[in-house]
Amino acid sequence: MPAGLATRLKAQALSEGFAIAGVARLPGGERLRMRTAALQRWLEQDHQAGMAWMHDPRRQDATALLPGARSVLAVGLNYYVSDQQKPGIPRIARYGWGRDYHRVIDQRLRRLGRWLDQQQPDCRWRACVDSAPLMDKSWAEEAGLGWIGKNGNLISTSHGSWLLLGHLLTDLELEPDEPAKPFCGSCSRCLPACPTNALNEPFVVDSRRCIAFHTIENRDPSLPLPLHDWIAGCDICQEVCPWNEQHARPSSDPEVQPRPWILSSTKSEMMTWSDADWSEKLRASALRRIKPWMWRRNLRHLG
């Protein structure tokens, strides 16, 4: 293996626009095994709600995604911007303000994979975004990007939790980074901040009580809980986190900049939009997962 390849790969990742990058070695250490056991308990307690894909057994074995995988590059895309939604308008989680992050991260990871091909022509790799059955936050923690906080989000000392994750699996044996140390300490501000009690214990998100789940994934015509002004996702447990208050860094990346309508459109305006209007507003957006009828359902549920 060429000396310093892991260091050069991480530098290449930063040049692609990722905010942070780290490397972990498969099969992972004790922390990764602990996270795998926690996922199994989470599933046994039905916290996944209607997300049946969380049961995919490949999620607990990264080599099932790339046989022979020995290392994983974990990257974080900073999606925080200084813009704010106008007061009183329906709230939309920041992850969906810009271009579909699945496309953005996947394209950049594939460029990294092709760069890796040039360094080691016989290597194999696979790009993974969160749509792949991979324990993405756990591997990011293993690669030193940050720790999984009490709100279930990965938190970085440099950027807080405003990071979208991606991974590049490879059969190369790359020099790993140290797993991240946890720094939540005695802080538990995120737990009581959740208005629907989805965080009824540290580190456990009950999707059945989560506004993000119900606004994005719930396909029922009615909703079982109040949305507290949110119609697409929810950022409350991130907004109250001290690490975000102190370390959020506005990104100048054009791919994460907000669409103007997200910052200013009112409920009454949105309720007049046709399916074609919604399709146009959500062109190349991760928010396309929310169908037009669901947007109207969510808006009506605001009261």
Contact by Cβ (8 Å): 242, 188? no
- Measured CA to CA, the distance from residue 86 to residue 268 in angstroms comes to 15
147, two tokens: 């720790």
- Measured CA to CA, the distance from residue 86 to residue 253 in angstroms comes to 22
Output the CA torsion sign for 92, 98, 100, 106.
Answer: negative
Q: Are strands 163-170 and 147-148 parallel, antiparallel or unpaired?
A: unpaired
- Measured CA to CA, the distance from residue 147 to residue 58 in angstroms comes to 22
> What residues form DSSP beta bridges with 163?
78
DSSP code string of 280-303: HHTTT-GGGGS-HHHHHHHHHHT-
- Measured CA to CA, the distance from residue 298 to residue 227 in angstroms comes to 8
DSSP-based three-state secondary structure for 126: strand
Which is catalytic among the residues 130, 229, 253, 277?
Answer: 130
Contact by Cβ (8 Å): 227, 301? yes
Is 220 noted as a catalytic residue in this protein?
no
- What is the CB neighbour count within 10 angstroms for residue 137? 22
Which amino acid is it at 300? R
Residues taking part in catalysis: 130
